[in-house]
Amino acid sequence: MDLACFRQISEVEWHMAPTGRMRVPAVIYADAALLRAMDDKVGEQLANVAALPGIVEAAYAMPDAHWGYGFPIGGVAAFDADAGGVVSAGGVGFDISCGVRTLHTGLVAADIAPSARARLADRLFAQIPVGVGSTGPLRLDAHEMTAMLKGGARWAVERGYGRAADLERIEERGCMDGAEPDKVSEQAKRRQRDEMGTLGSGNHYLEAQEIVEIYDTRAAERFRLRKGEVVVSIHCGSRGLGHQIGTEFLKDMVIAAPGFGIELPDRELACAPLRSALGRAYLGAMRAATNCALANRQIITHLAREVFAEIFPGTHLDLIYDVSHNTCKLETHTIDGAARQLYVHRKGATRSLAPGHPALPDELRDIGQPVLIGGSMGTASYVLAGTELSMTRGFASACHGAGRAMSRHQATRQWHGRALVDDLARQGVLVRSPSLRGVAEEAPGAYKDVDAVVAAADRAGLARKVAKLRPLVCIKG
């Protein structure tokens, strides 16, 4: 990207002044190298977001930002319903409430001998459905589908998939209020009927990871993270249901936009006023999909716990935290000294609440929210925490991963899945996947340097580094 389009505010903050139809500035948090490496489409898309009705303060992009559908992935924007603000399906994304949860195992890396590691990889791969079209361990009838979409992870726990204590470590306490299952189409529900408890494909994964570095000892102690110990991270979302909701509402919003007097800078930014029937319907369906994703990760957690208990008797896999990164949430933020209720879109961006925030669990409130940054199969993942500055940085948002550096098609031209699996095994990372092409698409080299992305987030005050995790086993979609 051409740096001349931006005014440098600090080492890791860049502003694009409003021009043309832009109502607010565009702001990117990144160092010069990361910004220069971003495709020009990121700046173009961010400027288009800044032109949407009712946008507040600025259109933001995180250090991992790259081209997406409508909004850049890593994009954040907030809208005020009282000022004609809109909700955009493209600003949430197709995989609604895709997110990461990380769990303790109580094991250290030395406990997992090479033979046990191979058995663990094989059993997790056998136990947890993964890949395109995968189906899960339960089938939902119409009644249970409605209950799941209303209840989220709470519904899953009530049916034996986990513990009540898990809910305290999940965003929204495991259930998003305001879900309206009747706003979810029958087609979306049919797609999800057999997909609960499945990872899906693409960049989704389940990993066993070793904690290799601690940066913030106080936060690490509170999160119970110790160097050498092993954690499990699960990355997935709302599967076919979320994709169907996104597809249907994007089409409806494109058709309806002229009637609302909205001139779209890009049809991929299809949106509807928050106060309109269409806007409210989307929010109800999106919140139902959020509950679907929370329930899905809860069921996968249960399946993973069964495998660990089988191979390592006595392990419990206590939940550290679960946070989503494709959402739109009604939140209170201070703008020009006044508290305002805003609808914050985060697409490929993670909420990063500051210490003291009332939405945090009591035992973590003085530390800040755990922020879980996923790696890319053979690279590191990170645990960060919200900072005192978080609420003034992109509406308390941080990056969600490394961010793609090339398309999946480009990746398959450069790497071969079998060779990658073998190479990673030599590095001590056991990969299990139903698709070698999928492995090639998700090659570590197809992504940005996650260390640089996380360092930029830390320096910008979006979140502070707590621990670095190295993959040992990766179950890949």
Can you spell out the DSSP letters for 259-318? GGT---SSGGG-EEETTSHHHHHHHHHHHHHHHHHHHHHHHHHHHHHHHHHHHSTT----
For CA atoms 463, 467, 471, 477, the dihedral sign is negative
pLDDT score recorded for residue 477: 80
**Residue in 246, 275, 248, 270 with CA at minimum distance from that of residue 258:** 270
265-280 b/e (C-beta count within 10 Å ≥ 16 → b): beebbbbbbbebebbb
431-452: average pLDDT: 95
The total of other beta-carbon atoms located within 10 Å of residue 245's CB is 27
Q: Which residues pair with 214 in a beta bridge?
A: 467
Give the model's confidence band at 52: pLDDT under 50 very low, under 70 low, under 90 confident, else very high. very high
pLDDT score recorded for residue 451: 97
Q: Cα angle vertex 282, ends 94, 462, to 5°?
A: 60
Instruction: Answer yes or no: are the C-beta atoms of 5 and 43 closer than 8 Å.
Output: yes
3-state secondary structure of 92: coil
Strand spans (E) along 161-255: 205-214, 229-236
Residue that the structure tokens 């090639």 belong to: 440
Q: Which pair of structure tokens corresponds to residue 104?
A: 């303790």
Mean of all residue pLDDT scores within the chain: 96
pLDDT tens for 180-209 read 999 999 999 999 999 999 999 989 999 999
pLDDT score recorded for residue 291: 98
Give the model's confidence band at 135: pLDDT under 50 very low, under 70 low, under 90 confident, else very high. confident
pLDDT score recorded for residue 138: 87
Name residue 409's amino acid: H
Q: Which pair of structure tokens corresponds to residue 168?
A: 């305290």
Give the model's confidence band at 133: pLDDT under 50 very low, under 70 low, under 90 confident, else very high. confident
Residues marked as catalytic? 400
DSSP state of 391: G
Q: Which CATH architecture has domain 3-476?
A: Alpha-Beta Complex (3.90)
Helix boundaries (H) for 107-172: 114-127, 142-158
Q: Which pair of structure tokens corresponds to residue 372?
A: 């879980």
210-234: average pLDDT: 98
User: Which residue ranges make up each domain of the chain?
Assistant: 3-476
pLDDT score recorded for residue 422: 97
pLDDT tens for 348-378 read 999 999 999 999 999 999 999 999 999 988 8
Q: Which pair of structure tokens corresponds to residue 380?
A: 């590191």
Residue 90 has pLDDT above 90, yes or no: yes
Pairing of strands 55-66, 26-28: parallel
Q: Which residues, including other chains, have CB under 8 Å from residue 324's CB and lie 6 or more apart?
A: 97, 98, 99, 171, 237, 290, 293, 294, 350, 351
User: Of 3-12, 126-135, 306-315, 450-459, which range is least confident?
Assistant: 126-135
Name residue 251's amino acid: K
